[in-house]
Structure 1
Amino acid sequence: DRTSPKTAGLFGQIVVIAALFVAWVNGVHSYEQALLLGLFLGMAGASFAVALPLASQWYPPQHQGKAMGIAGAGNSGTVLAALFAPVLATMFGWSNVFGLALIPLVLTLIIFASVAKNAPNRPAPKSFADYMKALGDRDSWWFMFFYSVTFGGFLGLASTLPGYFHDQYAFDPVKAGYYTAACVFAGSMLRPLGGALADRIGGIRSLLMMYTLAAACLFVVGFNLPSSTAALALFVVAMLSLGAGNGAVFQLVPQRFSKEIGVMTGLVGMAGGIGGFMLTAGLGAVKQATGDYQMGLWLFASLGALAWFGLYGVKRRWRTTWGSAAMTAARV
């Protein structure tokens, strides 16, 4: 908001590239060094609060779902990590994966610097007080909760599934990576379609459908299915639903907070990241305490059901206030 999305995007990419370069040259030799590297790589997650305002500010309300969905499909980068990182680590050593990752990152930086443009009607910079004011609006908390379930669930499962397939079905890291990549790819590719569906039928209706589907799949897979194929199919459908749900959430956010889109993208994106961290930690803690993932998956399914009821509870108010036909051309 203060420096422009493009400037912030350039800064974030340079930080990530520099961190990977140092890790590649010097190596990572301790747990503390791994945490320090993770701190700098967290800037990659912050790029979410750059890409979505940059995309949103170029498009009218009725196309926000598609625009934000396409921008958010950058999550598919995690597919490449899950798919190629284990193989590259086996071939070249895991520390050299940092160096290999620099190739697409530098190319992306060059393309972004050459092509990306800030919108001409970009809102005025926001102060810290504006962020605090946004947090005082109850709708901002609802959006943060809804996104912590959809994107947090997507992120948490992407982080947990390699260990799940290894522990549950004795897969080696490469095969577990392939299965995880299939799930993450499904969720990433459905995000733009989820945004487009929300544009067509309304973000609330779309999100209610996605919560239902994701919760049902996670509940069933929690029974520790003997077939890895059946578990994979259910996880794929769950990730499809969560990915489409991500698109639906960000079809709604610009309708409610059109003038505060940068602020809200940062806050909602932060909630999604925290949700992913909490889900990953929670599933791991439950696995350690009980010996399997059953209770953790059922708790996650229950969280999806809770989000469904929360959204259903605010549906009428949203559709008769900022989401009414008199207020926006988009379907809410």
Structure 2
Amino acid sequence: MLLETREAPQVIARQLTENEPLVAALVQALRGRRPAYAVTVARGSSDHACTVIKYALETQLGLPVASLGPSVLTLYGTRLNLAGALVLAVSQSGASPDVVENVRVAREQGALTVALVNVEDSDLARAAEFSLPLRCGEEGAVAATKSFLASLTALLPVIAGLHGDAALTTALAQLPARLTAALELEGAAAELAERYRFAENLIVLARGLNYGVAHEAALKLKETSGVHAEAYSAAEFSHGPKRLLVEGLPLLGFTSADAAWPAVQAAYADLVGSRADLRTIGPATDSTLQTPQTGHLLTDPVACAMTFYLFAAHLALHRGLDPDQPPLLSKVTRTR
């Protein structure tokens, strides 16, 4: 897990270079067909990446995005009307039958289908009209790291092209270097993880573009350390779940440097005022573990997620566990 997290800067640099002609073709297709809305199809870490992608498409392109329940088709036998939609499927393996079948049927209906997939000759890559490879190479640890991070970046050049966002294009070019700088935080991440060594429960908070990162963080804590972690919107946490503070549950919050931060900062201040045990990760200057700003609100979550992976791997090691081989789990899960 640590080795593969450290590979992320090289993976993303390779992806940005090698995907250029594929990005250009997809941008041209989207300009010509102009989908009115988008849906995502994914499970696990890939679904959390889709949550980040949702916020990116909605905030930058004004394109509404919904998460598709794969079982509506594969278990209930209902074919949703996706004609004219943009259908995005994300998968490291490209092997899960339910995701593949949803993309195949959506394409038959006339949707513009796009697969973000690491295994380039997979069933999913063949089923979709367009495929953007993640370019991760083999990923050995059960817990996805570099493939999740590459899923966050694969569509960003497309958004930059459609939006005419020169700042995003520049931020993407600089992102491998910024992520390399973030790897220098590994010692600090390991030190922060030490204080959670005996935690049995943990609440993860975020909002906006980092909301999907928070859900990914909660999943990784379950997978690699056996911590019962749950993710909440920093706004929604006060609508009932805040009661858990009385039980002494620790909080881990993600910070940002975008339009969501003032509201999140106020929510965190309120929690600290309620004597919550809160530590934070992100680019805000008052973060417990401050990540490098990457030059754009869409690329900052990549640095947040990568830094968290360093934290999560070291937490497992502090607890005497092997983060690469969690019990009961396998690398590829085929859901029907």
TM-score, normalised relative to structure 2? 0.30
